[in-house]
Amino acid sequence: ATPTALMVGTGRGAQLGILIKGPEVLESTRKVDTIVLDKTGTVTTGRMTLLAVHPADGTDEAEVLRLAGALEHASEHPIAQAVAAGATERAGALPAPEDFANVPGLGVQGVVEGHAVLVGREQLLAEWAMELPAGLARAKAEAERAGRTAIAVAWDGEARAVLEVADAVKDTSAEAITRLRALGLTPVLLTGDNEAVARSVAREVGIDAEHVVAEVMPEDKVAVVKRLQGEGRSVAMVGDGVNDAAALAQADLGLAMGTGTDAAIEAGDLTLVRGDLRAAADAIRLARKTLGTIK
Ligand code: ADP
Ligand code: MG
């Protein structure tokens, strides 16, 4: 690129809310042919709401909210914040947990009011040899068919409830994906969330079902990027979470949501300041223009 093109390009980038780490980033931006998108907080707002509580037979809903809410209050995960806020709204003040641990990609576990409590994916319960009774399994399946995330709650060795949370797709995401496709990129949706929710978000924004990679553990997101690179693709990755940092660093081009975590921003080559996915398409178009590969 000529010095003038570089100045115009980076200046226009800043106006569009794109911060670039250095001019060397432009070359990889020009070459990418695949764009991997984290779901929660990137394609969706990441602001979840607690929509419904399904207690098991004989379980008190207020107790579900108090115990699950208390534990989630100690976590920063968007799902945890939704559960804690919904529980406070419906059940009042929450007790402080006596013990608490995050289980990355699965949920939280701890002790509340003397009960050993788990909140998270069904797999978290399975690790403790617990399963959902038929009524709860049905509630979970129905929630997922509706494109919602179902969270299991267990205490003292038994599954006690299913919580339904949902998160809205950003109103700019579908247009962003149309623009990325127009630039010749293949969009891939990558998430730790379940397959049904992932497919419903993909359908809403125009990502092919065959390009949905769901139920991926945080440490495995980087492996998905490596696999695509192994297939000869030049990969851009867009993400916002601590979970995404390694994948952002591995990608040929890492784009961090400016609304996301510091870990993601540090790992990325570019920051999309406003958290608007359309800026990803702007960045790629601008890089090609700056390097003189398009008029
Ligand atoms: P994503 O890749 O979509 O950003 P994560 O890897 O953070 O999602 O989490 C994957 C899944 O693990 C979530 O969809 C949820 O089912 C479960 N999970 C993670 N943390 C929590 C939590 N604090 N409470 C409840 N469920 C959780
Ligand atoms: Mg995320």
The two counts, helices (H) then strands (E), for the chain are: 12, 13
- Going by the DSSP 8-state scheme, the letter that residue 210 receives in this structure is G
Which pLDDT score is estimated for 172?
Answer: 96
> Looking at residues 202-227, what average pLDDT do you find?
96
pLDDT digits (tens, 9 = 90+) for 231-288: 999 999 999 999 999 999 999 999 999 999 999 999 999 999 999 999 999 999 998 8
Q: How many CB atoms lie within 10 A of CB 243?
A: 25
Phi, psi of 4, rounded to the nearest 5 degrees:
-65, -45
Note the ipTM here.
0.91
In this structure, of 5-14, 80-89, 135-144, 185-194, the range with the lowest mean pLDDT score is 5-14
Measuring CA to CA, which residue among 46, 28, 42 is closest to residue 254? 28
Which residue's alpha carbon is at the smallest distance from atom 26 of ligand 1? 120
CA dist., res. 249 & res. 105, Å (int):
19
What SS3 class is residue 106? coil
For residues 152-188, b (16+ Cβ closer than 10 Å) or e, as one string? bbbbeeebbbbbbbbbebbebbbbbbebbeeeebbbb
> Looking at residues 13-29, what average pLDDT do you find?
89
More confident residue, 222 or 291: 222
Distance 107 CA to ligand 2 centre (A): 14
Average pLDDT of the chain is 94
Query: Atom of ligand 1 at shortest distance to CA of 217?
Result: 6
pLDDT digits (tens, 9 = 90+) for 42-96: 999 988 999 999 999 999 999 999 999 999 999 988 899 999 999 999 999 999 9
List the domain boundaries for the chain: 3-45+169-290, 47-167
Distance 158 CA to ligand 2 centre (A): 30
For residues 265-284, b (16+ Cβ closer than 10 Å) or e, as one string? bebbbbbbbebbbbbbbbbb
Protein residues with CB under 6 Å of any ligand 1 atom: 38-40, 72, 75, 77, 79-80, 105-108, 119-121, 149, 151, 191-193, 218, 241, 243
Residue 16 contacts residue 279 (beta carbons within 8 Å): yes
Is 167 an annotated catalytic residue? no
Let me know if the fold of 3-45+169-290 is the same as that of 47-167.
no
Distance of CA 81 to the CA centre of its chain: 14
Of the chain, the percentage scoring pLDDT greater than 70 comes to: 99
Output the CATH code of domain 47-167.
Answer: 3.40.1110.10
Which pLDDT score is estimated for 295?
Answer: 46
Query: Atom of ligand 1 at shortest distance to CA of 75?
Result: 23
Which sign does the torsion angle of CA 68, 70, 71, 75 carry?
positive
End-to-end C-alpha distance for the chain, whole angstroms = 13
3-45+169-290, which class in CATH?
alpha beta
